[in-house]
Every structure is written in structure tokens, then in C-alpha cells.
Structure 1
Amino acid sequence: MMKITNLFKKYGNKNVVEDVSLEIPKGKVTSFIGPNGAGKSTVLGMITRLVQRDSGEVTLEGKKLEEWKSNELAKKLAILKQSNHMSLKLTIKELVGFGRFPHSQGRLTPEDEKHIQEAIDYMELTDMQDKYLDELSGGQRQRAYIAMVIAQDTEYVLLDEPLNNLDMHHSVKMMQVIRKLSEELGKTVIIVMHDINFASCYSDHIIAFKNGKVAKAGPTKEIIKKEVLEEIYEMPFCIHRLNNQNICVYY
């Protein structure tokens, strides 16, 4: 289990994260939602050691985050940041292979190759796996980075805006893969999301942020409610039911 206690982060005189405490359900898909500047990505960064916290504590499997050795943490937890840029001339397959580094230390085994190919197949990149990254569209490149995270084969998968640059078809495919990681492989997935409808349809648990604080947290059905969303986003919402799923319309 991952537990976050009293996280604070300030940039200059502004508190961007203020007294955030929460627990991440194990083996489930948890989405962080909320307006721009609510602190979602900063919290995600702090619980992966990419952003230094001013105070507070993060524990993973009962062990403080700072007590984990970097290589051991990389076998337990994988993160894809919102902006990714690789200047090296790499093919998709070579990029995805980087996900195996914590396990192989650069010497790929048949087991590593198996994970690499499975991740490429998951993301429907098989026919283009030998293409170079600079030959890809933004959406294809995003899928390649997701495949790299999948190949890392960690128990915890953290994704910051994974639907960036993806069209509707590949956004749905991406969320289906994320559900599969949770339901079939038992992985704990944390996603920063802007699209409330995708969060509504594919999340088990939602944590809503506002002004650097946790505004609401709980099972999806408790958060995707008209009054809750209107309080968080300060705008009118209309929620419809379609095939037993909530569809949120904001206007």
C-alpha cells in the first residue's frame, strides 16, 4: 500500500500542495482530477521522488520512500511524466527496452525481450516497432512511452496525463490497457486526468484536488456526482447514465 501523510510543497510564497494526506488502494485504478493548478501533478511527482517535498511523508509497502534504493524503487514503481523528450536516435523497440534497465542493467535477457515485445503488442505498435521516434506522430510517440512503462513491469504504475496527443480511438485503447493492468495483472495504477468522463468510466477510486488540497476522495460513484463536481470545478455540470456509466457534461 502507498500512504501519503501531510505533504506540503511551496514555490516562492505560494503553497501548491498543502497538507495532503491519502491512501492509494492497492491493485486498483486511482485517478487524480481537479482544475489546472490544483496540485495533482506536483503530488504525483512527490510520491515518486521526482519533486522534493517541503514536508510530509510517503510510505510504500510500509517503508519510507527515502529509504528505498533507487534501483529497487525502479523495480517497484514506474512513472511517465506529462512531457517527454528523447533527443537520441532511437527506434520504438529500443525506447521500450529502456523500461527493462532496472532488471537487466543494460544486458537484455530472453525474459526482458519477452516483456518488451508484450508491451509493444499491448500498445498496438508491433508493425512500426523499428521506426525511429522522430518519424512518429505525437500520439504514436506517447504510446511508445507508455509501452516503455509497461515493459518496466512494476507493481505501481503512475501516469501523468497519459492521454495527451491521443485521438479518441487510442485514448479508449489506452484506458482499456490500464484497466487490464489492474484487473489481470493486479497492478496499482495512479493517473492524473483532465477528462472527467474517462476518469468516471475507468477508475475504481478518484481523488479530487482543489487549491493544492484534497477536496474529495473515495470510490468513483461517490465523486462523480453533480454537486461534488460543481464544488470542485465551480461550474455547472449535468450527469447522464449510459450503459451503467456516468457521462459528465459541463457547460
Structure 2
Amino acid sequence: MITLTQVAKRYTSDVAIGPVDLTIPAGGLTALVGPNGAGKSTLLTMIGRLLGIDSGSIEIAGYDIAGTNSKDLAKIVSILRQENHFVTRLTVRQLVGFGRFPHSQGRLTPHDEEVVSRSIDFLGLRELEGRYLDELSGGQRQRAYVAMVLAQDTDYLLLDEPLNNLDMQHSVQMMQHLRRAAAELGRTIVIVLHDINFAGHYADRICAVKNGTVRHFGSPDEIMRDDILTDIFDTPVEVVEGPRGRIAVYY
């Protein structure tokens, strides 16, 4: 479980996050959605303790992140930021191996190598593990980064817009991989998404953020409504029943 209690971050008198009170249950996939500048990525970054908070508290699996040792926290939660990309020339396997650093401190054991291999296989990267990152397509490279955080072997994964710059096919494939990770590996995944229809189709819960506050939180059926989405995105939205669930149509 992730619990935020009166969490706030203030930048200027006009720009602030919170106060936010939010409880994200363990298990499944929770999508953070909202317009640009709503505070989705900032909220995720604060949960991952990559950005300090001005007030309030955040707990993950019962651990207050403010007082938890960094090495211990890295075994509880992993985070992939949008700009969390290496510029050095690495192979896929070398990159995924970095996910084991909290456990191995850079000296991979046979167990670490086994976890790396499982993560590579889970993301369908076995044939590419010897390739360099700059030799991969955008979709393949994004899968490699997700495999890296998966190899960290934490119960909680925080992903900031992992569909960024992916086309429709690779976006669908990525969401399918993440759904499997939540269902088959028992991971709790919190993901920032721009596309409300991806959230509605793949997420177990949707957290709608606007102007630095959580405006709505619930199941896709509870959030995928005309009035809620029109309010969140400040544009007329009609939700229609599709063959596989509700779909938001923008005008």
C-alpha cells in the first residue's frame, strides 16, 4: 500500500502540489492521468523520493520514505523517470543488470544473473540482450528500461510515461507487459499516462490529477464518465461503450 498524508510541495505562491491525501492499494496497476502540468510526474517523483516534499508524509508498504535508508528503500520501490536514460554505450543485458545494484552493489552473483535473465525474457528481449541500446528501436529500448526496473525486484514500480514516443503498436505491447507484471508477478505498478483510453482499458484504478490535487480516484468504471473527464481535461468528453469497455471521445 502507498499512503500519502497531507503531502504538499510549493514552488511559488501560484504553483503548488497538494495537499494530497491518497491511498493506493497494493497490487494491480494504478494510472495517474490529467492534463499537462497537472502534477502527475511530480507526484510520482515525490512518491519515489527523488523529489523532497515540503510537508506531509509518504509511506510505502508501511515504511516512511523520509526516514528509510536509501539501500533499503531501493529494495522496496523502483522508479523509471522520463529522463532516466543512459548515454553511455551499453548492451541490453548490461542495462538490465543495473537493476540489481541495490542487491549486488555492482558485483552480480549467479542469482542476480538469473533475475536479469528472467526480466529480459519477461519483456521479450532475449534475442536482443547482446545488442547495444543505440542499435534498438524506440519501443525495444523502452522495454529494456522497464526490464531494468523489473530486475530491481521490488514490489512497487513507479513508471513516468513509459509510453512516451511509442507508436500505437508498441504502446499496446508495453501495457500488456505491465499488466502481466502486475497479474503474474504480483507487482504494484503506478504509471503516469497521457492517454485516458489506455488507462481505462488496462488500469485497475485511475487517479485523476488536476492543478496539483487529486480530484478523483477509483476504478475505470467510476472514472470513465462524461462529467469527470470533461472536468479533468477542460474539454467536452463523451464516454461511449466500446466492444471492450468504455472509450472517451473528445470533441
TM-score, normalised by the number of residues in structure 2 = 0.95
Q: In the alignment, is the contact (CA less than 8 A) between 1:158 and 1:191 conserved in 2? A: yes
Alignment map for 1:23-62 (pairs within 5 Å) = 23-62=23-62
Superimposed CA distance per residue, residues 157-197 of structure 1 (whole angstroms, 9 cap, x where no aligned partner): 11000111222222111111111111112111100110111
Structure 1 distance, partners of 2:155, 2:121, is 20
Q: In the alignment, is the contact (CA less than 8 A) between 1:206 and 1:223 conserved in 2? A: yes
Q: CA deviation at 1:243?
A: 2.8
Deviating 4+ runs (over 6 angstroms)? none
Q: CA deviation at 1:122?
A: 2.1
Structure 1 distance, partners of 2:122, 2:14, is 41
**Corresponding residue for residue 143 of structure 2:** 143
Q: CA deviation at 1:230?
A: 0.4
Alignment map for 1:138-177 (pairs within 5 Å) = 138-177=138-177
Q: CA deviation at 1:136?
A: 2.3
Q: In the alignment, is the contact (CA less than 8 A) between 2:57 and 2:66 conserved in 1? A: no
Structure 2 distance, partners of 1:188, 1:87, is 29
Paired-residue identity, %: 52
Q: One-letter code of the match for 1:121? A: D
**Corresponding residue for residue 179 of structure 1:** 179
Give the number of aligned pairs.
251
Q: CA deviation at 1:137?
A: 2.7
**Corresponding residue for residue 13 of structure 1:** 13
> What is the aligned-residue RMSD (CA, Å)?
1.3
1:100 and 2:113 correspond: no
**Corresponding residue for residue 65 of structure 2:** 65
Q: CA deviation at 1:133?
A: 1.6
Q: CA deviation at 1:16?
A: 2.9
Structure 1 distance, partners of 2:28, 2:166, is 23
Q: In the alignment, is the contact (CA less than 8 A) between 1:29 and 1:190 conserved in 2? A: yes
Q: In the alignment, is the contact (CA less than 8 A) between 1:93 and 1:129 conserved in 2? A: yes
SS in 1 for 2:37: coil
Q: In the alignment, is the contact (CA less than 8 A) between 1:209 and 1:215 conserved in 2? A: yes
Structure 2 unaligned spans of 5+: none
Q: In the alignment, is the contact (CA less than 8 A) between 1:16 and 1:37 conserved in 2? A: no
Superimposed CA distance per residue, residues 46-72 of structure 1 (whole angstroms, 9 cap, x where no aligned partner): 111101111111012223111211111
Structure 1 unaligned spans of 5+: none
**Corresponding residue for residue 222 of structure 1:** 222
